[in-house]
Amino acid sequence: MQSLQTRTTQVESPGVDLDTIAALAKRRGFVYPTSEIYGGLANTYDYGPLGTQLLKNIRDSWWREFITKREDMVGLDSAIILHPQTWVASGHVGSFTDPLVEDKITHKRYRADHLIEGWLAANVPSAPVAVTDMKTADMAAFIR
């Protein structure tokens, strides 16, 4: 009798994109678009029975690996919604901004600095522009 290893063959996977995976997950009942009967909400999903179980299994596995098996770690479950002053004190309000650009046809959003960096790399490889130093208004003017 042949062993399993000798009977299996390599199958080349065609390029599978995220939309294909999301469609399969919806068909199989892992996820459903949030508020689907009211038109949905872009890029938001609710977990179905299979998705809920898969998510629980992933969380449990992660917890075992990174918390339970280690003596130098402890678990913490804290609130996601915090007092606004917490975000100010931590520097998140004053320091972090990611200007976005929305494609008016596909409604996908892209970080403005990444678009500019990509365009400069493709069209002006020797450009000494530091995109990280650009103000939001300068990015908007550049993209227009």
Instruction: Tell me the whole-structure pTM to 2 decimals.
Output: 0.49
What is the rounded CA–CA span in Å between residue 134 and residue 115? 13
Query: pLDDT tens digits for 29-46?
Result: 999 889 988 888 888 889
Give the span between the Cα atoms of 46 and 32, in whole angstroms: 5
Beta bridge partners of 100: 111
Could you tell me which of 11, 12, 40 has the C-alpha nearest to residue 26?
40
Chain segment 87-106, per-residue pLDDT in tens: 889 888 877 778 888 888 98
The pLDDT assigned to 61 comes to 98
Question: Please, which residues bridge with residue 111 across strands?
Answer: 100
Q: What pLDDT does 9 receive?
A: 53
Give the model's pLDDT for residue 3: 44
Average pLDDT, the chain: 85
